[in-house]
Structure 1
């Protein structure tokens, strides 16, 4: 008797499914079970597919794919439909895949089962539908959680917390591969030291995880007997944990097996096709999450290495001064960019502070930054003055860009090229601020190349943005002059240097960004050098939240631009105290100085702003307006009637409510001003008349070279409100 006849006697049919040709071969019993004439037939795939319920067809596709990948049997229940859309019967299919390259054939059996009864509608039973919905919800949640994990430890925590629908493993382990050995990346549900026998295990060992890594195929062990029979050498290692079922699945990314995942159960698990499908899907998501986490950790490690190699350490200590610095990289990618700071001891005994920003937020920007920082340090160490250091640095950067363009065949400023030049659009430039500080006197000589101006926090908390002369950013025009501005940092004052990332991040422009930082500088109570470190943290936290000196981690993803920050404090009585603080033997003076050159009349607006900021808490607003008007008149008089520059010095002294403002505007001309009686249509001649009307006192003092026009205003407590009340 033929095998087909024996199987037909027990209502079991045979079939073969050729994936390459798309043909299905049925014996008579298999054809009958599918609702076709009970005779052998070779049919196209579409004719057989039409006999299955659509939901079951989608399920069998996944089950067959899983069986092909694992080399196991594919088993499923299928509802057979008639032409009217009714369920004729339910059959159980069991098949084995034979793989030939990219194609495969399925050889299997069909056998009728008792449920559901003929005549029922083509709707899944409630239990089946609920399980499927639970499985889909679980996989969505698991995928989301694994996608959000940012480190290997987070991935392992997520994997340990997964509660699978209908069955949950008691123990988990993730194995990695290092050369020819197996290693434990992480585990859950085991005690300390339990992983020791499985650490550093040779891949040739007769152990399920090692075989999974070697073959790339899953291993399911439903019972301890299966484990003992298949892996007798390592069964004693697993026996002591008291588990009943095990699943070992490969962790595959881009066709490469990077490790294995073990799920162990304290109760028997049959590992049905649905259960294997869930485990396989989780293993794939786990492999991808571990791959992403590994790449991210490698990038963070590279980032930290780059930062440590490129960022200097502050030192040595400066007598009478304190320095604090921060660098925060931009988010995404390698988290490196072109911002930098430096502190350079000079041959003269002075100290140079440098802060700069190379255009771009990529590895090339970081590389250029490193080269430029070394060049600036070399020029400074040779003893050059600030203007000469920046001029040489500009020529150096321009030369680097010319060499790069010649090497890569790119035109200067073209933004296009061939070969390696394609990934770097156009030339790069850099902004820079160079400060040479004399610790003994507090004198600061500043040269600026397209960089934001420094800000000074006075001892009583008043903050001024100090306008400085400047030139083009480095590297744009090789031979550029960088004029030097001289300021004096008084005892108790703090100077802030920063890149534009600290100012403009968060949708701010220069004005609103400075206002945000000003409020922090004014309100923060410091405490010597420790207070300076806290102030640096407060300034960075105001933009990005808590950070370390060199921040990495989840915070990086929210960053829009690099940040470099330098704080220089000249120690003195009241250093770091906030506004209104007590403890001064004599309240320190507020002082600002500014040169308005003939070639830069637009700096007159900066002079007016300096006076307003100096008098930000003056009690009488009308006096503030009067002071600004007189400054404008006296400086304009110098620019119009002389050939020299105007030097403005403004100083406020005394206790709040009874202070004195003294403003001096000096120039190099010996010609003294005199009163005039301008007519109604005259465009000038009113400066001295205004001072006579608005100032409490004023005068003109001849000097050895030039003259000085000065005026004073005396604050009265109550200010405008008191005057209005008296009126």
Structure 2
């Protein structure tokens, strides 16, 4: 009697699944069990798949996938059970099949070569079978949950160390490894990256060992196939050379899984057990799933570590030179890269000793937060150093730097050519034009003069040692590399002993959706909370305030990027320059002397408004606002008279001294004219001549006196002056 007749009499069908052609062949019994007519049939893979429950079809696919990566699965019979469903997805019954992996030609295949297919017998599942399967449901669900949680933990690992830590601490439902190791390949050698478990004498293995060594992990690296060893006897038989080293650990089962990424084996994961396991196909499927996730996580983490190392190298190579010691000037600096990507960008600062004995202070920001921006920044910083070292004035340094940057990032051609013809667009060669903002300061620490030229950069700020912060308006031109025909006017600022000049990039000011005004207000609060603090403490507090502001934005949901982009959103560069004290005394119970100096040129009438603003800021904590308004009015009157009745510039010096509650303001305005002011009696319709009347009414005291070739007009006001209130 033929085998087919015996199987048919026992109600056993035969089916073949040809994966290469995508067809399934069934004999008459198998077709009947499948709910079809009792006759041989050839069905498409899609038709068969539609009649198998989707969850069970996944199980069948796991069997095929496992065979593709495991040499021991090839040709091995495995049993699967699946639910048969109708067109409405209603379960019609359960079938059980014992299948074996073959190739389309019928021979037992070599794993991984060609398309794999199934051949097997098909019977109806008995109630006993169904009860047994149902009893494993909790274990199956537990393993699925474990795999999901493992995947989540591996996805959150950002470095190789974190990935290895996750892999080394895995504990799987139903079987807990006694030892876990991760290996990788370095050239022609196998090395161990991580090991967790009983103490092991690794010198006996000879790591890093040649990949040709008769060792399971080396075999996996060579072949890309998993190796399962179910007993000590099997281990001793298959790997006799290393067994004497393994035997003292008294383990009973071992699983060596390949870590494969894009078809390339990058490492091996070992899980060793102190009890014996048969490694069922369900267990092997769980191992394979974890190995695939671990391989992807390890590959991603390796790339992250490489990027971080590259970032650190770039920062070191492109960072500023060691901070020079500048007599008479204390300096604190910070650079914090953005929290995203390679953590490099276009912000920089520099301190450059000049041939004249002065010092140049530079802070700038190249557009962008990528490697291109960092490279341009490095070139621009070197160019600025060269121009400064040649002794050029601040405006000339920035003009030359602007032309240099424009040459590095040429603009795409536009308009018409020399003959009037249209210049065609060239989309195949896009331009990567960039601009940069910059603030260049030439400082003379002995006199306290700071000549500033600004190219589209945030303005500096003056910090007084009693906790007062005052933005310092300065003239400026366009960003570097934008308009080569524009000049960069120079502003002179006089820094008094104990005062600090703050230079920063916009990363310190703008966080989340906040603008520059909000950033300056935040800095004002930080400075007010640290009166008389050291520069290093102040610099750290300013940087920390940025992170606090971003955390607040994230908590309030104002910036959705905060959760996806840890760390600050923009590069931050910060320079703090403090003119060192020269023995000034602070009144007991009072405040340090506040002072600012402002030069108002004949062609700069807009600076009169700046003078009023600076003076109001100097008196920000004076409670009598009428006194503050009177002081601003008198400053405006004196400066206007200088610009109107003389041919020279005006130099204004404002100083506040004394005990809190009884402080005194003295303002001096010096010009080059030796003609002293005199009182006039203006008529009712006169448009001028009331300046001295105003001074007599509002000031506690005032006067004018010759000084050198010019004169100085001055006035004084007390903190609670009663002048002008009658």
TM over 0.5: yes
Q: Which residue of 2 aligns with 1:15?
A: 15
Q: Which residue of 1 aligns with 2:26?
A: 26
- More displaced 10-residue stretch of structure 1: 91-100 or 387-396: 91-100
- What displacement does 1:602 show? 3.6
1:691 corresponds to which of 680, 690, 695: 695
Report the TM-score, using the length of structure 1 for normalisation.
0.85
Cα deviation 1:269-314 (Å, max 9, x = unaligned): 2322222222211111111111111111111111111111111233
Q: Which residue of 2 aligns with 1:603?
A: 607
Q: Which residue of 2 aligns with 1:210?
A: 218
Q: 2: distance between equivalents of 1:614 and 1:415?
A: 57
Q: Which residue of 1 aligns with 2:66?
A: 66
Cα deviation 1:47-89 (Å, max 9, x = unaligned): 5445544432232223322223334247343145486955545
- Counterpart secondary structure, 1:302: helix
Q: Which residue of 1 aligns with 2:436?
A: 430
Q: How does 1:264-303 map to 2 (within 5 A)?
A: 264-303=272-311
Q: How does 1:524-673 map to 2 (within 5 A)?
A: 524=530, 531-544=534-547, 557-572=566-581, 588-639=592-643, 644-668=648-672, 672=677
Q: 2: distance between equivalents of 1:396 and 1:379?
A: 11
- What displacement does 1:383 show? 2.1
Q: Which residue of 2 aligns with 1:398?
A: 406
Tell me whether 1:454 sits opposite 2:466 in the alignment: no
Q: Which residue of 2 aligns with 1:347?
A: 355
1:227 corresponds to which of 212, 217, 235: 235
Alpha-carbon RMSD across the aligned residues, in angstroms, is 3.6
Q: 1: distance between equivalents of 2:249 and 2:122?
A: 40
- What displacement does 1:450 show? 2.0
Q: 2: distance between equivalents of 1:175 and 1:148?
A: 21
Gaps of 5+ in 1: 547-553, 576-580
Q: Which residue of 2 aligns with 1:550?
A: none
Q: Closer, same or farther in 2 for the Cα pair 1:433/1:193, shift >3 Å?
A: farther
1:95 corresponds to which of 92, 100, 107: 100
Q: Closer, same or farther in 2 for the Cα pair 1:574/1:417, shift >3 Å?
A: farther
Determine if contact 1:491/1:572 at 8 Å carries over to the other structure.
yes
- Counterpart secondary structure, 2:116: strand
Determine if contact 1:394/1:480 at 8 Å carries over to the other structure.
no
Q: Which residue of 2 aligns with 1:551?
A: none
- Counterpart secondary structure, 2:155: helix
Q: 1: distance between equivalents of 2:255 and 2:532?
A: 60
Cα deviation 1:150-205 (Å, max 9, x = unaligned): 11111111223333233332221111111111111212224365476262111112
Q: 2: distance between equivalents of 1:683 and 1:177?
A: 90
Q: Which residue of 1 aligns with 2:499?
A: 493
Q: How does 1:158-237 map to 2 (within 5 A)?
A: 158-191=166-199, 193-194=201-202, 197=205, 199-237=207-245
How many residues end up aligned between the 2 structures?
692
Q: 2: distance between equivalents of 1:678 and 1:206?
A: 113
Q: Closer, same or farther in 2 for the Cα pair 1:604/1:116, shift >3 Å?
A: farther
Cα deviation 1:413-446 (Å, max 9, x = unaligned): x998545x53x54x22222122222233333222
Q: 1: distance between equivalents of 2:603 and 2:693?
A: 27
- Counterpart secondary structure, 2:566: helix
Determine if contact 1:14/1:110 at 8 Å carries over to the other structure.
yes
2:529 corresponds to which of 504, 523, 527: 523
- More displaced 10-residue stretch of structure 1: 606-615 or 103-112: 103-112
Q: Closer, same or farther in 2 for the Cα pair 1:631/1:526, shift >3 Å?
A: closer
Determine if contact 1:505/1:560 at 8 Å carries over to the other structure.
yes
Q: 2: distance between equivalents of 1:206 and 1:27?
A: 46
Q: 1: distance between equivalents of 2:360 and 2:391?
A: 10
Determine if contact 2:338/2:571 at 8 Å carries over to the other structure.
yes
- More displaced 10-residue stretch of structure 1: 301-310 or 610-619: 610-619
Q: Closer, same or farther in 2 for the Cα pair 1:200/1:475, shift >3 Å?
A: same
Q: How does 1:328-407 map to 2 (within 5 A)?
A: 328-402=336-410
Q: Which residue of 2 aligns with 1:108?
A: 120
- Counterpart secondary structure, 1:103: coil
Q: 1: distance between equivalents of 2:424 and 2:319?
A: 29
Determine if contact 2:53/2:85 at 8 Å carries over to the other structure.
no
Cα deviation 1:644-690 (Å, max 9, x = unaligned): 5443321112222222101233444566464454648x776554443
Determine if contact 2:705/2:711 at 8 Å carries over to the other structure.
yes
Report the TM-score, using the length of structure 2 for normalisation.
0.86
- What displacement does 1:126 show? 5.4
Tell me whether 1:304 sits opposite 2:320 in the alignment: no
Determine if contact 1:451/1:499 at 8 Å carries over to the other structure.
yes
- What displacement does 1:137 show? 2.6
- More displaced 10-residue stretch of structure 1: 251-260 or 76-85: 76-85
Determine if contact 2:340/2:569 at 8 Å carries over to the other structure.
no
- Counterpart secondary structure, 2:205: helix
Q: 2: distance between equivalents of 1:198 and 1:33?
A: 58
- More displaced 10-residue stretch of structure 1: 166-175 or 87-96: 87-96
Q: 2: distance between equivalents of 1:480 and 1:128?
A: 80
- What displacement does 1:702 show? 5.0
- Counterpart secondary structure, 2:409: helix
Q: How does 1:20-59 map to 2 (within 5 A)?
A: 20-27=20-27, 30-31=30-31, 34=34, 40-46=40-46, 48-49=48-49, 52-59=52-59
- Counterpart secondary structure, 1:471: coil
Cα deviation 1:549-571 (Å, max 9, x = unaligned): xxxxx998332211111122222
- What displacement does 1:584 show? 7.1
Q: Which residue of 2 aligns with 1:324?
A: 332
- More displaced 10-residue stretch of structure 1: 460-469 or 535-544: 460-469
- Counterpart secondary structure, 1:158: helix
Determine if contact 2:455/2:478 at 8 Å carries over to the other structure.
yes
Gaps of 5+ in 2: 104-108, 418-422, 550-562
Determine if contact 2:142/2:173 at 8 Å carries over to the other structure.
yes
Q: 2: distance between equivalents of 1:314 and 1:52?
A: 71
Q: Closer, same or farther in 2 for the Cα pair 1:52/1:478, shift >3 Å?
A: closer
- What displacement does 1:616 show? 1.9
